[in-house]
Amino acid sequence: MDFILIPRLCGLLFSALAGTLLLGGCESLQSSDNFLGVITPYRVEVVQGNVITKEQAALVKPGMNQAQVRDLLGTPLLTDLFHANRWDYVFTINRQGTAPQLRKVVAVFAGDKLERLDTDGELPNEREFVAAIDTFKTSRDAKALSLSADELKALPVPAPRPPAARVESSGPTRAYPPLEPVR
């Protein structure tokens, strides 16, 4: 009878050991970006809040009213009933292939006028922000949006346009019926 229990105990011990190893493998899937170097699990891209760049923050000046600040920065992500003079602009992005980002900008009002704009560190300019979220790290260098002074001088001079001939109008050339009957 004892010889029958030994194989069962060994089988039970082997099953427990195999289960432990399999569950340990599940934990390692959460910490790595791929499984066996082949399969990459899908991760949901989460983008939340308002993107506020250095250029946008530079447009906001103390003394602006709440409507002007909302026009420049957008509707704040957080407004608190107990702190009506404070608007919190929070931006988070969690994207596969890039580092997660969290930025906080706080607009503090005195009545209806902006008192100050507090940023959580240095804000990126628009190009830096796009480069930070670009997952295609190839040679996609964007061209400049404006021409330099030398490039403007190198452009050909447009040909002058001939003056438009002046036409004197002699009234309508087509007769339309009246919109309302004449009484």
Q: How far is CA 76 from the centre of its chain?
A: 14
166 within some domain? no
Cα angle value 51/55/61 (rounded, 5°): 100
Dig out the tokens for 105 from the structure: 């900008």
3-state secondary structure of 102: strand
Which CATH number fits the domain that encloses residue 108?
A: 3.30.1450
107 within some domain? yes
146 within some domain? no
The length of the chain is: 183
Q: How many domains does the chain have?
A: 1
183 within some domain? no
1 within some domain? no
pLDDT at 22: 67
92 within some domain? yes
pLDDT in tens, 1-52: 555 667 777 777 777 777 776 666 555 445 555 556 677 777 788 888 888 9
Range of 53's domain? 46-135
Nearest-angstrom CA–CA distance, 14 and 130:
53
Lowest-pLDDT range of 52-61, 67-76, 123-132: 123-132
pLDDT in tens, 67-79: 999 999 999 988 8
pLDDT at 154: 92
User: Which is more confident, 122 or 24?
Assistant: 122
What is this structure's pTM? Answer: 0.52
pLDDT-based confidence at 141, cuts 50/70/90? low
pLDDT at 138: 52
